[in-house]
Amino acid sequence: MIRVENLKKYYGDFQALKGIDFEIDDGEIVGFLGANGAGKSTTLKVMTGYLAPSAGNVFMDDLNIQAHSLAIRQQIGYLPEMNPLYGEMRVYDYLEFTSQIRGMSPEAFKTALDRVVDQCGLREVIHLPISACSKGYKQRIGISAAILHDPRVLIFDEPVSGLDPNQIVEIRNLIRELGQHKMLIISSHILQEIEATVDRIVIIDHGEIVANGTSRELMSGFQGRTQLTLDVKYADEASIAGLARNIDEIEVADAQAVDGRSVLSIEYTREVDPREAIFEYAKNSGWAILEMTQHQVHLEDVFRGLTGEGGGHA
Amino acid sequence: MRNAMAIYRKEVSAYFRSPMAYIFLVFFALFNGYFFSNTFFLFGQSDMRALFNITPMILLIFVPAVTMGLIAREKSSGTYELMTTLPIKNSELVMGKYLSAITLVLAGLGFTLVHFVTLLLVGSHIDYGGVLCGYLGLALVGAFYAAIGTFTSSLTDNQVVSFILAAVVVLVFYLFDKLLIFVPVALAGAVQFMAVDYHLSNLARGVVDSRNLVYFGSLIWLFLSLTVRVIDMRKWR
């Protein structure tokens, strides 16, 4: 288990982390979601021992990162942001070098090499210089180096950043496969990436955790408003105005006349479900309902609500 | 030490995979050859003083060129984060890189043995002990300069800045005993003791004094320790 306690980090006067707490159990896939500069990478850098915390600590079981950095680093496979690699080395040489630093015997390296080459699909490029490989292959090389020693914990910082859609799917599948057996922590500013890959999401904003749970938990706890689109015929202005008066919990945010129809945009809190009342009102008012669609709350809405960010790239 | 050797092998093979090592060795051999042969046949003496006088000056430029990328390149390419999050001590990282630089410097000095062969062929009454001590001195100077270069490479992510810093620091140690006339008499002894040339000249004369060895050993240790400290300080930036 990894336990992060009251983690704070200052860069000069700027406070990048403002007291972060969380726990991750073995076998969990956890995603760190946040805008650029929110503090995701800083958190991971402290967890991997690259940076020291200004306050607080990171524990792996009973070991803490400040006093037992080497022991903890031995149990972690880390893919840093931008996936830095030694371009002049051949893929094989790079993995062999990694195995030596990890203290693996030549026999253990051979076994591990077969495993990671198959798992990451590196057989075609194993004897090529890394600089000659495509970005997708480079990402796989970075991941294969991180998993070579079969670590207990995998930490991937922005693992699909800069990849094309096909490569994203490939790496996402690889990450999912790895996550079946490992504690896996990934960070991303791409909301869809996190949603598609992880069991639990930690949303970080301005150096603080603003949400922590499964996507279902986050959405159910979201205090935003539900939207409903109502497309009807034969609705006059008076009856439309009476809709909100008759049903207390709703608000008609917008009403537009389109080709003899009225398209109403209705909002209400997530705790209520006024659709039956709306249907009864429409029936009693002589409206013909052509469409009634309640829009589901998406993680994107949760993210926007919690961080004030917008767009697919959160 | 196992990790240091893994780093060492990686660094040495990186040197020889790029044109860097070959350019270094060729130019080092050419410069030494030119300056050595210029005076060797002129004076007609069976010794290698000319080489032992000129090589430290050539090392002033060549060693910073060898060491400038050791850590600075890792920082600029981002592999510094990769390397420092592997289960490896900072001292092992520094030692592996430092030894790789020394290997290249020693390989360069190895090329100058061709001049020793020339001496064997055309000279007489050769002072083998003097030659051996001279080479020991050059190796120690190269190792000292490499320690300075390793240190300056840890201070920046810019290889050019690293090179200039190393060249300046190395030059300061080289010039100490050239500036004695500007130094108060009370400090002259101490300043002279800090000069590379002062210790090298003893060795070039064939005298191995423990003070000379302590000088080089302690300064190499100092600069490598500072490098380890600088790498450790990244955590607290």
Chain A contact for B17, CB < 8 A? yes
pLDDT (0 to 100) of residue B144: 97
pLDDT digits over A71-118, tens only?
999 999 999 998 999 999 999 999 999 999 999 999 999 999 999 999
What was the ipTM of the complex prediction? 0.86
pLDDT digits over A172-190, tens only?
888 888 888 889 999 988 7
pLDDT digits over B133-161, tens only?
989 999 999 999 999 999 999 999 999 99
Nearest CA distance, B158 vs chain A (angstrom)? 17
Residue B1 confidence class, pLDDT cut points 50, 70, 90 = confident
Checking if the pLDDT of A294 tops 90, the result is no
- Does any domain span residue A310? no
- Does any domain span residue A307? no
Residues in a beta bridge with A204: A209
Domain spans of chain B, in order of start: 2-232
Same-domain check for residues A92 and A215: yes
pLDDT (0 to 100) of residue B35: 81
Checking if the pLDDT of A311 tops 60, the result is no
Choice among A113-127, B90-104, B184-198 with the minimum mean pLDDT: B184-198
Q: How many domains does chain A have?
A: 2
Of residues A45, A82, A100, nearest to B6 (C-beta): A100
Same-domain check for residues A203 and A236: no
pTM of the predicted structure, to 2 decimals: 0.84
pLDDT digits over B20-64, tens only?
889 889 999 888 888 877 776 666 666 677 788 889 999 999 999
Residue A313 confidence class, pLDDT cut points 50, 70, 90 = very low
Q: What residues of chain A have any CB closer than 8 angstroms to a CB in chain B?
A: 11, 45, 48-52, 70-71, 73-74, 76, 78, 80, 82, 84-86, 88-89, 93, 97-98, 100-103
- Does any domain span residue A236? yes
Same-domain check for residues A207 and A269: no
> CA-to-CA distance for A81 and B74, rounded, in angstroms?
15
Ramachandran sector of residue A135 (left: φ over 0; alpha: ψ -120 to 50; beta: rest): alpha
pLDDT (0 to 100) of residue A243: 92
Residue A310 confidence class, pLDDT cut points 50, 70, 90 = very low
Judging contacts by C-beta atoms under 8 Å, the chain B residues touching residue A93 are: 10, 13
Is the CB of residue A306 less than 8 Å from the CB of residue A213? no
Taking alpha carbons only, the member of A101, A102, A128, A99 closest to residue A114 is A99
Judging contacts by C-beta atoms under 8 Å, the chain B residues touching residue A102 are: 86-87
Q: What is the CATH number of the domain that holds A283?
A: 3.30.70.260
Rg (CA), chain A: 25
pLDDT (0 to 100) of residue A102: 93
The proportion of chain A whose per-residue pLDDT surpasses 90, expressed as a percent, equals: 60
Checking if the pLDDT of A150 tops 90, the result is yes
Same-domain check for residues A29 and A176: yes
- Does any domain span residue A95? yes
Same-domain check for residues A72 and A201: yes
- Domain with A145, as residue range(s), is 2-220
User: A–B: how many Cβ contacts below 8 A?
Assistant: 69
Identify the residue with better confidence: B206 or B158.
Answer: B158
Chain-wide mean pLDDT for chain B? 90
> CA-to-CA distance for A301 and A220, rounded, in angstroms?
12
Taking alpha carbons only, the member of A303, A301, A270 closest to residue A201 is A303
The proportion of chain B whose per-residue pLDDT surpasses 70, expressed as a percent, equals: 97
Judging contacts by C-beta atoms under 8 Å, the chain A residues touching residue B231 are: none
Chain A contact for B1, CB < 8 A? no
Judging contacts by C-beta atoms under 8 Å, the chain A residues touching residue B234 are: 50-51
> CA-to-CA distance for A8 and A5, rounded, in angstroms?
9
A102/B78 CB distance under 8 A: no
Chain A contact for B20, CB < 8 A? no
Average pLDDT over residues B86-112: 95
Residue A137 confidence class, pLDDT cut points 50, 70, 90 = very high
Checking if the pLDDT of A314 tops 90, the result is no
